[in-house]
Amino acid sequence: MTLETQPGSVSKKMLWGGRIISALPALLLLFSGAIKLLKPAPVLEEFARLGYSESVVIGIGILELACTAVYLIPRTAILGAILLTGYLGGAVATHVRIGDPFYGPAVLGVMVWAGLYLRTRELHSLVPLRK
């Protein structure tokens, strides 16, 4: 059984809320990773502005897609969230380094964990929220 399908794991409202909140960053990250593989001119220009060479674009796109795929598989979702936290932490650091706003990747990271928290009962014992 997966974390999402264990009997009595979480309420249906929490499960669906978690799925919806998880889907938003997942869709954005899948799109972002896929567009990096296509290497259109605006992506290459943005990478240059951020201080990265064109040679790393495909590798970063593959990494982004792989971490997101691990997050989307229920049995490996916690590992995926950890990997995405590292990936998005690098994005935050990149934007901070050049003085850009860093809220986008930070909010995505919070959404990754909020969605997982809502749909995974085991996280409730690790991070108990008081009522």
CA–chain centroid gap for 112, Å, is: 5
- Residues 17 and 23: their CA atoms lie apart, in Å, by 10
Per-residue model confidence (pLDDT) at position 5: 43
- Residues 63 and 66: their CA atoms lie apart, in Å, by 5
Per-residue model confidence (pLDDT) at position 54: 96
Q: Are the CB atoms for 30 and 66 separated by under 8 Å?
A: no
- Hunting for tokens 């972002």 — which residue is that? 32
Per-residue model confidence (pLDDT) at position 20: 96
> Where exactly are the structural domains of the chain?
12-121
Per-residue model confidence (pLDDT) at position 7: 44
Q: What is the mean pLDDT of each run of 10 residues along the chain (131 residues)?
A: 52 92 98 98 97 97 98 96 98 97 96 95 81 65
- Residues 49 and 95: their CA atoms lie apart, in Å, by 10
Per-residue model confidence (pLDDT) at position 131: 65
The reported pTM is 0.88
